[in-house]
């Protein structure tokens, strides 16, 4: 069951990034920050350093490539047309796991051998559709790099395979306290975090699609931000608040993320857990769309942290709306 969930997650990733190459990669900066990590030019200027503190690993890749949290691409290699480029691509699939999940099994990969690089053993993988990759597990972190073929080719380009080898030769796991699961383990009931107090720690379900853990808090928060309702004519995911002002954001309990010079911190979005009451306050919208600048009071806040990401999903119960002004 867990393996199936991982396969579904991979397909969702591909739908968002792989099948729209012209739009997905055209705007990617060579240097960026994400949840709790960075992609920056190395001091030598010849490569990029990819460092994920929340999941605990780092590596380098060529400066001609572009990087995102879950993928690397080289727009100049393996081009199709100017209108529909087909950049070479390497997917990055990391996961926190208490035991080795070997999640490549769920994707139909064949283990073609093993290699030890810098003391780390990697399983070499091959798929019937031409993908090639490597997988490793180390003290709670599983990671897989997958090189994708493009066009009519049944194999990744030589440039892609050379880049994959370069990644492995520079790769290292970061065994430090910044890792998400280790930060969660260090928290204790009664501890103050942001403007609230930890009331309960719920162990994670683990596995693919599971979570690392859930933290429940006691206390109330007054938050000022934008209340949204977004969806299609038939359905929506419910009302939530984000775009919090600085004072409100400082009250939301968040884990530390020791990344310097983050120009825009990760988005904080809080979904209301009592949607029926929220509808009474903001209205039942015929077209599932609403936007307002509002100040609200909430309690019963909880945060769920997931195995493949650092940013938690946050929910809270709406108690009162003290101010609300719809935004046209």
Q: Could you write out the DSSP letters of every residue in 78-99?
A: S---SSS---EEEEEEEEE-SS
Whole-structure pTM value: 0.81
Supply 241's token pair: 């608040």
Report the half-sphere exposure of 302 (CA within 13 A, side-chain side): 13
Q: How do the domains of the chain map onto residue ranges?
A: 2-173, 180-326
Domain 2-173 classification at class level: alpha beta
**What are the phi and psi torsion angles at 108 (to 5°)?**
75, 25
Supply 5's token pair: 């969930």
CA distance 195 to 247: 10
User: Residue 274: which residues within 8 A CB-CB, separation 6 or more?
Assistant: 317, 318
Cα 55 from chain centroid (whole Å): 10
Average pLDDT over residues 197-210: 86
Buried b (16+ CB within 10 A) or exposed e, 110-132: eeeeeeeeeeeebbebebeeebb
- Nearest in space to 285 (alpha carbons), one of 243, 228, 224: 228
In the beta sheet, which residues pair with residue 227? 241, 292
pLDDT in tens, 45-91: 889 999 999 999 999 999 889 898 899 998 887 666 666 667 789 99
Please check the confidence at residue 185 and state whether its pLDDT lies above 90: yes
In the beta sheet, which residues pair with residue 291? 228
What percent of the chain shows pLDDT beyond 90? Answer: 58
């Amino acid at each position: 069951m867990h393996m199936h969930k991982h396969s579904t997650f991979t397909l969702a990733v591909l739908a968002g990034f792989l099948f729209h190459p012209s739009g997905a990669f055209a705007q990617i900066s060579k240097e960026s920050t994400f949840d709790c990590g960075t992609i920056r030019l190395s001091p030598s200027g010849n490569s990029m350093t990819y460092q994920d503190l929340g999941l605990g690993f780092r590596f380098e890749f060529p400066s001609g490539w572009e990087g995102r949290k879950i993928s690397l691409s080289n727009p100049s290699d393996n081009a199709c047309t100017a209108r529909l480029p087909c950049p070479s691509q390497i997917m990055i699939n990391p996961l926190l796991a208490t035991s080795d999940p070997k999640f490549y099994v769920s994707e139909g990969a064949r283990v073609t051998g093993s290699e030890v690089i810098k003391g780390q053993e990697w399983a070499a993988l091959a798929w019937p559709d031409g993908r090639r990759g490597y997988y490793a597990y180390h003290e709670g972190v599983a990671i897989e790099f997958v090189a994708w073929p493009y066009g009519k080719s049944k194999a990744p380009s030589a440039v892609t395979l050379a880049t994959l080898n370069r990644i492995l030769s520079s790769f290292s796991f970061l065994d430090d306290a910044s890792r998400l699961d280790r930060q969660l383990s260090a928290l204790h009931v009664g501890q103050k975090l942001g403007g609230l107090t930890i009331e309960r720690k719920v162990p994670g379900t683990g596995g693919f699609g599971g979570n690392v853990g859930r933290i429940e808090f006691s206390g109330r928060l007054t938050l000022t931000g934008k209340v949204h309702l977004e969806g299609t004519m038939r359905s929506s995911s419910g009302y939530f608040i984000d775009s919090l002002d600085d004072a409100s954001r400082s009250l939301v309990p968040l884990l530390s993320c020791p990344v310097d010079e983050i120009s825009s911190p990760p988005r904080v979005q809080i979904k209301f857990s009592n949607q029926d009451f929220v509808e009474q306050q903001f209205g039942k919208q015929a077209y599932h769309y609403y936007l307002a600048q509002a100040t609200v009071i909430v309690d019963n806040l909880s945060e769920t942290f997931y195995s493949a990401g650092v940013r938690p999903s946050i929910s809270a119960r709406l108690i009162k709306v003290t101010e609300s002004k719809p935004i046209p």
